[in-house]
Amino acid sequence: MQMRRLGNTSLQISAVALGCWPISGITSPDVNPDDSQRTLAAAADAGINFFDTACAYGISEGLLGDFLARSPQLSTSAVIASKGGLERDESGMHHRARPEDLHRQCRQSLRLLRREQIELYYLHAADPDVPVEESAGAIHELVEQGLIVAAGASNLSLDQLQRFHAICPLQAVQPAYNMLQREIEREMLPWCLSQQISACVYWPLLKGLLAGRLTRDHVFASNDSRPGYPMFQGEEWQKNHDLLDRLRPMAEGLGVSLTTLVVAWTIGQEGITSALCGAKRDWQINESAAAGNLVLSAELNQQIELALQERGAAVTRPAV
């Protein structure tokens, strides 16, 4: 597994991380705690030491805390990332990123994760009612109090990131990034590179679409949130499947799964530190983790680039 430095800290994180949203079971169907524990164990066995969760991810922090409590060795080498500023209840997600909210949420995460310190703590998203400087100030206090090691921010514009960074030095950002969502390449990634800030990106598989196992006529379960996104609808869905048909022989040529190819492409892009790969089954994270041992040739990267150019701009929608 390729290991990379987190920002300018001394922490080393795996280039493939386990994203713990699917094991929360909030929008992914057929999830249960036993499968989730197997998924966490498979991730660790595959060399993943970087786990991404959030206070808004339901039971996932508790599942991760249980897992780490049973694996003292991993618990020491693990780099846990959590987030505050968004909270979830029966009526949905809510922005809550006032300083007192962030302090409360961080302490709750520490309790559920059963840790004395969280290695990386992000502002999950800007709260429209709170200046980003105020939220940044609270996260800086958490660093000073030793409750977190490094600060991060997710779903912020470049301007917001720069304002945050002026108050609280960032070690990581967490935007969406994948073959079909590459906006950050223009300004955000160059800025992160210039500041030694890691880009730990979400949706590398575009919520499973780029894993290629959802057939063109897939019928989504009623509690699966994906049909609500434009990339899973109508002409976009068909165009995305055409792209997958172009990529499949490339993966077959390497003897790897489409998932492995897609994640290897993601972590091979300039400025990308780690891909946060969601999984709800052990075999899924094994396929993503295999990308941590694969470097694509320049020729294959060119073929992928051509396929993406021919696919053209995709219609997508951010998570938050």
Region of 88-96, 156-164, 186-194, 202-210 interacting with ligand NAP (CB under 6 A): 202-210
Residue nearest to ligand NAP (CB): 278
Which residue, chain included where needed, has tokens 């150019």? 309
Burial of 90 (0-12, 13-18, 19+ CB in 10 A): exposed
Nearer to ligand NAP, 144 or 183 (CB): 183
Window 281 to 300, contacts with ligand NAP (CB under 6 A): 284, 287-288
Q: Give me 283's structure tokens.
A: 């075999």
Q: 93 Cβ partners below 8 Å, 6+ apart?
A: 56, 86, 87, 320
Q: What is the total count of residues that contact ligand NAP (CB under 6 A)?
A: 30
Which among 2-10, 40-48, 181-189, 199-207 is the span making contact with ligand NAP, rule CB under 6 A? Answer: 199-207
Cα→Cα distances 155→152, 172, 182, 194, 297, Å: 10, 12, 14, 19, 31
Q: Is the dihedral of CA 143, 104, 78, 264 positive or negative?
A: negative
DSSP state letter for 124: -
Q: Is 208 among the residues that bind ligand NAP (CB under 6 A)?
A: yes
Minimum CB–partner distance for residue 101 and ligand NAP (Å): 17
Residue 20 near ligand NAP by CB under 6 A: yes
Residue count of the chain, please give it: 320
> Minimum distance between the CB of residue 297 and ligand NAP, rounded to whole angstroms?
22
Q: Under DSSP, is residue 128 helix (H, G, I), strand (E, B) or coil? A: coil
Q: Considering beta carbons, is residue 236 or 299 the nearer one to ligand NAP?
A: 236
- Residue 46 vs 211, nearer CB to ligand NAP: 211
The answer to whether residue 205 forms part of the interface with ligand NAP (CB under 6 A) is yes
150 binds ligand NAP (CB under 6 A): no
Q: Restricting to residues 24-53, which ones interact with ligand NAP according to CB under 6 A?
A: 28, 52
Question: Counting Cβ atoms within 10 Å, is residue 250 exposed (0-12), middle (13-18) or buried (19+)?
Answer: middle
Q: Which is nearer to ligand NAP, 11 or 146 (CB)?
A: 11
**Residue from 109, 160, 174, 266 that binds ligand NAP (CB under 6 A)?**
174
What would the two tokens of residue 292 be? Answer: 């941590």
Q: How far is CA 150 from CA 75, 82, 146, in A?
A: 17, 11, 10
**Cα separation, 198 vs 137, whole angstroms:** 20
**By CB under 6 A, residue 105 contacts ligand NAP:** no
Interhelix angle 158-167/132-144, nearest 10 degrees: 40
The reply on whether position 59 binds ligand NAP by CB under 6 A is no
Q: Which of residues 221-280 bind ligand NAP (CB under 6 A)?
A: 259, 276-280
Binding range to ligand NAP, per CB under 6 A, among 16-24, 94-102, 164-172, 304-312? 16-24
Distance CA 273, CA 2 (A): 10
Site membership for ligand NAP, residue 202 (CB under 6 A): yes
Nearer residue to ligand NAP within complex by CB, 250 or 319: 319
Q: Which stretch binds ligand NAP (CB under 6 A): 62-70, 87-95, 206-214, 300-308?
A: 206-214
The answer to whether 13 and 49 are in contact (CB under 8 A) is yes
Nearest residue (CB) to ligand NAP, 28 versus 316: 28
The smaller minimum CB distance to ligand NAP, of residues 146 and 150, is found at: 150
* Whole-angstrom distance, CA of residue 157 vs CA of residue 309: 25
Site residues (vs ligand NAP, CB under 6 A) = 19-22, 28, 52, 124, 154-155, 174, 202-208, 211, 213, 259, 276-280, 284, 287-288, 319-320
